[in-house]
């Protein structure tokens, strides 16, 4: 079994814990479903968020999906002028037999404009 990385991103309308939880869970559930990922397939998740999101950590939101035993880490996205605001990105590392071409990257809400070359 190989190791694969799956990209994803979403945006929040408002910077609240509730909005973060809703957006992150929606994104992760779609990534898991699109790539047929079970809990035991997960290796780790790396989250970044834009500097304007300070209400809670994306990893805290992810833990509501019973991911407390999966290594999760957050970082602040580089503050580049004129980029998409209130954005959370994730890289999910999984064990998978899928080829790179079979991996489905997921971009939700306002983040659909990002990485259109990867978005399915």
Q: Which residues are catalytic?
A: 7, 63, 74, 77, 89, 107, 115
Rounded Cα–Cα distance for residues 10 and 107 (Å): 6
Q: Is 68 exposed, middle or buried (0-12, 13-18, 19+ CB in 10 A)?
A: exposed
Residue 80 CB contacts under 8 Å (≥ 6 apart), including other chains: none
72-76/42-49 β-pairing: parallel
Rounded Cα–Cα distance for residues 98 and 41 (Å): 12
Rounded Cα–Cα distance for residues 49 and 103 (Å): 23
């Amino acid at each position: 079994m190989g190791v694969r990385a799956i990209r994803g991103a979403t945006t929040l309308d408002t910077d609240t814990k509730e909005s973060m939880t809703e957006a992150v869970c929606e994104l992760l559930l779609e990534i898991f479903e699109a790539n047929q990922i079970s809990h035991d397939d997960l290796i780790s998740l790396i989250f970044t968020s834009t500097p304007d999101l300070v209400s809670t950590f994306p990893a805290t939101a992810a833990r509501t999906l019973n991911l407390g035993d999966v290594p999760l880490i957050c970082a602040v996205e580089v503050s580049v002028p004129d980029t998409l605001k209130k954005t959370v990105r994730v890289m999910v590392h999984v064990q998978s037999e899928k080829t790179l071409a079979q991996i489905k990257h997921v971009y939700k809400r306002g983040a659909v404009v990002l990485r259109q070359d990867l978005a399915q």
